[in-house]
Chain A
């Protein structure tokens, strides 16, 4: 019998990087096959090649023994290959059934399609209402829509790209049940992930990638985590040094009963959020994306202001009504999750991007930009944070994501902040750089800075934070001390089930309606 899918010697180069180098793998019908690797290992490129969204420079792809010619997403779908993207390919402004109709080849008959969606989603234990607008759905529900969309095509091979990064631990369990049911019915599944425990729990086989190359094939259930990790990251596993925190007497950041209406239909309303962050500690905010993180961070950074100025205090000063640059005068620095276009101006040079937030540090004098000072500042950041760039004159958009992130983190830290806000510190950053950025943040906090981190990666939060908060539907949980909590508790809070119940004592009173 032919394998459902076989890749032979796939190579793909992008300018400056070899994304896939001589990758071969084969997947049997009904097999759940993991493609395991760190960020930047070439997993996503490989999946795009399998799906036909990108073309390999060389190598061959076989489906049920036949070579796939003239490969694009349409031919893939005709062959029964479906893909669930990490960032969903859903349109916010239309309904579930309309979204699904867009990728269905059947006649444009919304009522009967809606009926099919209802049936199928129930059969696989993930009910969805086909007539709801997508912007009203939670991220988990959106993923269901994506999966149901694929299932409607009765796929022979389903590709999932980091499907759990947006899910609560409980939703992950549900997803795995669905996937096992599918595999039992004969559908092959390609499961892309960088999470060892999930792969070990779910997958029959694993192909491990590192720097675009296959570094091993394993049966994850029979392989130790350490072995898998070695294959993923090589011999050097980065180590974190987290010393005990020494807290400042008074909190640097205080958030008091902060409520804010959503800006539009696509936003989330914040409800009565209260917490504080002391100098010397790192407080993390966990949660499934789209639960109000973006709104909260904008209100903390000053990108959005608030009418009640003591809703946010920085070093005791009421700051909620202040703009970002005014808050920066109080010692705030901020690393946003979008590097291009928010943390940096893509078409501007690095020295110009240094002026963006470092304009009080000698780079602007008498209303004029001091180019030499700005260049020196940028060069200092490039040097100290080992940013790979052609000096301060290169444009922000010419840097890789990880390097630009290092530049922005470096720039903000060079401002010697009293309070550092960081959103998704290591998204799309390779292992080495991630470890470096996390260590830098820890060191900064131990030197006395108050740090507030928003991340969707629980592992990351558990690694560096002293205390954890959980956000769900615009409400923030009482703080949990990292050493005395676990993923289970955080996961429950992420679903909002225990919100409002008095679990940790007095501090949760503020959360009740």
Chain B
């Protein structure tokens, strides 16, 4: 039952995709093949698949911790950016560019920056009652502008022909690739650990239990004495940490430097991944692999068939639409739903 909705949504997305391709004058089957199968036909394709899936899964795990508690951090893109900035800053300016500590320090820096960027909305929500959706989003725009400022200004590589980008990170600041021919690197282990931690936290720990109560029934959480502000802080910081680490891994992996286009939209796509994965650790792994394939396929058909890269976002949207709709058919039809009564005296706006 838990996988029925994602599977149904994926199949429907494929069908709509076929119709869409056909209407653009492309034979659907070869196009779908080019979109979803061809990218995985080579070792390089598989490497790229996992390389892109890794940050999506990592961020989605962090976000899902918050989503379960009804804490809506949709500014992972900004936290990702800040993580990349902080990590690159450490990598570029640490006095000893060959230090073995460099990569761990960058890791901590990226994580701290992501958390700090998420701590602001957490503080504002828990202390000032400010909607975290809007704040996290505004913070994303600010982070993007900050990055733009850095790469156009103080951090611009003097030897970079005036391109808005930093110098390349030193070798000690980079995750090792498994094979020099491919880009997949050891940062994927971070994601594996994150998935296991996420599972332990949400499925087994008391803290995770408290957060799920906060999300499912805020009045019950207050009844039991679980602190709402704790749920807000943990939810936002988990997402911020995950996104910050993912940003760090992107800078210290495939990119090797900072440029204005640090993220192809991982922070937003991870929101969809979290939902496709039903906010569940292992579901998120599958969702991340699917979403990564959408990214690859979008790039693939752009190159081979000249189709626009915006297709990726369209497919992401359609997939999420169908998933939400499929949820309704599968869950509501079998479950008798009773609306919970409101208690005015306890409710806060």
Contact = CB atoms under 8 A, between A and B. Distances in A.
Contact of A398 (B209, B336, B343, B346): B336
A15 interface: yes
Contacts of B344: 266-267, 294
Interface string B193-236: 00000000000111101001100110110111111000000000
B162 interface: no
Contacts, number: 97
Contacts of A169: none
A345 B213 contact: yes
Given A298-B346, A364-B206, A303 B223 contact: yes
Nearest to A342: B219
Contact of B225 (A267, A302, A341, A355): A302
Interface in A82-97: none
A345 B335 CA distance: 15
B205 A325 contact: no
B224 A357 contact: yes
A345 B220 CA distance: 6
Given A294-B346, A323-B227, A340-B341, A397 B336 contact: yes
B59 to A, nearest CB: 25
Interface string A269-288: 00000000000000000000
B46 to A, nearest CB: 36
B211 to A, nearest CB: 12
A344 interface: yes
Interface in B323-349: 335-338, 340-341, 343-346, 348-349
B206 to A, nearest CB: 5
Contacts of B338: 340, 346, 397
B346 A348 contact: no
Contact of B223 (A263, A334, A368): A334
Interface string B174-206: 000000000000000000000000000000111
A343 to B, nearest CB: 7
Contacts of A295: 345
Nearest to B349: A264
A341 B345 contact: no
Interface in A303-347: 303-304, 323-328, 334, 336-338, 340-347
B340 A340 contact: yes
Contacts of B216: 345-348
B220 A341 contact: yes
A399 to B, nearest CB: 10
Contacts of A346: 216-217, 338, 340
B340 A343 contact: no
A323 B226 CA distance: 8
Given A357-B224, A367-B205, A368-B206, A338 B348 contact: no
A301 interface: yes
B222 to A, nearest CB: 5
B217 A323 contact: no
Contacts of B212: 348
Tier of interface size on chain A = 35 or more
A263 B340 contact: no
A356 B213 CA distance: 8
B209 A369 contact: yes
A98 interface: no
A142 interface: no
Contact of A325 (B204, B225, B340, B341): B225
Tier of interface size on chain B = 20 to 34
Contact of A342 (B220, B225, B348): B220
A347 to B, nearest CB: 5
A438 interface: no
A407 B35 CA distance: 53
B220 A369 contact: no
A348 B213 contact: yes
Interface in B259-314: none
Contacts of B336: 15, 397-398
Contacts of A304: 346
Contacts of B343: 294, 336-338, 342
B270 to A, nearest CB: 24
Interface in A256-270: 263-264, 266-268
A352 interface: yes
A48 interface: no
Contacts of B209: 352, 355, 369
A338 B219 contact: yes
A359 interface: yes
A326 B206 CA distance: 16
B206 A356 contact: no
Given A295-B345, A345-B216, A368-B204, A324 B337 contact: no
B205 A368 contact: yes
A267 B224 contact: no
B219 A324 contact: no
Given A267-B344, A267-B345, A325 B207 contact: no
A206 B225 CA distance: 47
Contacts of B222: 303, 324
Nearest to A295: B345
Given A369-B206, A397-B336, A344 B220 contact: yes
Nearest to B206: A364
Contacts of A337: 343
Given A338-B343, A397-B336, A323 B225 contact: yes
Contact of A338 (B224, B227, B335, B340): B340
B203 to A, nearest CB: 9
Contacts of B225: 302, 323-328
Contacts of B223: 301, 303, 324, 334, 336, 342-343, 356
A337 B343 CA distance: 9
B5 to A, nearest CB: 16
A364 B344 CA distance: 32
B160 to A, nearest CB: 49
Contacts of A355: 206, 209
A428 B130 CA distance: 38
Contacts of A298: 345-346
Given A341-B217, A342-B217, A368-B205, A356 B340 contact: no
Nearest to A374: B209
Nearest to A293: B345
Contact of B204 (A356, A359, A369): A369
A357 B226 CA distance: 10
Nearest to B341: A338
Contacts of A359: 206
A345 B205 contact: no
Interface of B: 204-207, 209, 212-213, 216-217, 219-220, 222-227, 335-338, 340-341, 343-346, 348-349
8 contacts: A294-B344, A301-B223, A323-B227, A325-B226, A341-B220, A345-B220, A356-B213, A364-B206
Smallest CB-CB A-B distances: 7 pairs: A325-B225, A324-B225, A341-B340, A294-B345, A323-B225, A342-B219, A345-B217
Given A336-B223, A338-B219, A357-B224, 16 more contacts: A266-B344, A294-B345, A325-B225, A326-B225, A340-B338, A342-B220, A342-B223, A345-B216, A345-B220, A347-B216, A352-B209, A356-B213, A367-B207, A369-B206, A397-B337, A398-B336
